[in-house]
Structure 1
Amino acid sequence: MKTLTLDVEYECDFDLFGVVSSSREHTLAWQLNQALRLRLVKQQDLIYDLLHQGRLVISNYLHATEHLTLRLLRNRSIDPSVLKKPFLAPDVKEYDYLIQVNNGSGQLAAETLLAELTTLPVVQYACQFDPNTLKFKENLLF
């Protein structure tokens, strides 16, 4: 029997930042709220059930307005996982958190946000990525 595979290319139209921080997610969310005048609110955890492999449970904070969406996502599963790579984005597993920004402008424009992230005391390092180059970019589509 012939097996067919479906290859789908997703176009990601958001900015993506990786953050290295040893702090807990609620502490980082609070720091972002204070520095950027946001209202990041804890949402229901994202659950990815990977057939016959295990499951990922990802902590999720959201700030949404009419024109902007900003998400703070923990890159590593918060539940113990049997997966070999229990990360939301295994391509960038060295980053503890991911920040996804849709329609960022002004203080939340890419360059300005990156500069703000690096000044936070709980952030050791921050970097911007092109989400279209990630192998597991479909994990970041909501």
Structure 2
Amino acid sequence: MLISNLLLKIVSITKKHLFLDFELELDFSLIGISSPLRDYRLCHFMSKNTGLIFERGKENYIDHKGYLKDKDKDEMDYHIVFEKTKQKKTTKYHYGIYRYCDENFEFEYYLISNRSMEGNILLPELPNFDYFLMVKHYINQEDLSLIMDDIKRINEVLLVKELDPTSLKSKENLIF
């Protein structure tokens, strides 16, 4: 009995805890847009004003070699966010998304709805924005300002504002 207690104490002393602390690397610019327009209408007007010709969905069904991708259709058509509830149940939220990318993926633009089909908000700390324009990779401030000015010229757009993604509490919802 004494030996087993001694072994338990030795085991508990040698037990180590490892805590991982990491910072999300956010390599994109973010623009918030308030507009009563439906997403497809906003994309139409943005195409006319900015020259960015958006396509529905997060990615193509066909890969760079011409083969059909072996992925779930929902995964390619929507930005999906999973949320765990207190009852340990996982809920899936579908956010409308449109993309404009060049062939070499040197730049990528994504227009993401702030409200899911299920009624959830993507970035709860910014409920007044209806859409977010995410510009992946580097874009200089002058080009970003030009795009924002072009979007502001759309009559139905109420507000366009550059946002700092690092300051958002729910920034992980923007990672895909």
Q: Are the structure 2 counterparts of residues 34 and 105 from structure 1 closer, same or farther at C-alpha, using a change threshold of 3 Å?
A: farther
Unmatched segments (≥5 aa) in structure 1: 81-85
Q: Provide Cα deviations, 1:80-118, integer angstroms capped at 9, x if missing partner.
A: 4xxxxx2111121110000001233598x2211121111
* Paired letter, 2:107: L
Counterpart of 1:45 (choices 70, 78, 98) is 78
Give the paired residue count: 135
Counterpart of 1:14 (choices 23, 28, 38) is 28
Superposed displacement of residue 8, structure 1: 2.7
Q: Do 1:48 and 1:57's aligned partners in 2 also have CA atoms closer than 8 Å?
A: yes
Counterpart of 1:58 (choices 95, 107, 115) is 95
> TM-score by structure 2 length?
0.69
For residues 47-86 of structure 1, the aligned pairs below 5 Å read 47-51=80-84, 52=89, 54-65=91-102, 66=104, 67-80=106-119, 86=120
Unmatched segments (≥5 aa) in structure 2: 1-16, 58-76
Q: Provide Cα deviations, 1:13-57, integer angstroms capped at 9, x if missing partner.
A: 211010000010000011111111122000101222212263321
- Are residue 140 (structure 1) and residue 154 (structure 2) matched? no
* Paired letter, 2:52: L
Q: Do 2:50 and 2:151's aligned partners in 1 also have CA atoms closer than 8 Å?
A: no
Identity %: 25
* Paired letter, 1:33: S
Distance across 2 between alignment mates of 1:133 and 1:106: 19
* Paired letter, 1:77: S
Q: Do 1:23 and 1:122's aligned partners in 2 also have CA atoms closer than 8 Å?
A: yes
Q: Partner of 2:94: helix, strand, or coil?
A: strand
> TM-score by structure 1 length?
0.84
What residue is the counterpart of 1:94 in the other structure? 128
Q: Do 1:56 and 1:87's aligned partners in 2 also have CA atoms closer than 8 Å?
A: no
Q: Partner of 1:59: helix, strand, or coil?
A: strand
Distance across 2 between alignment mates of 1:105 and 1:129: 15
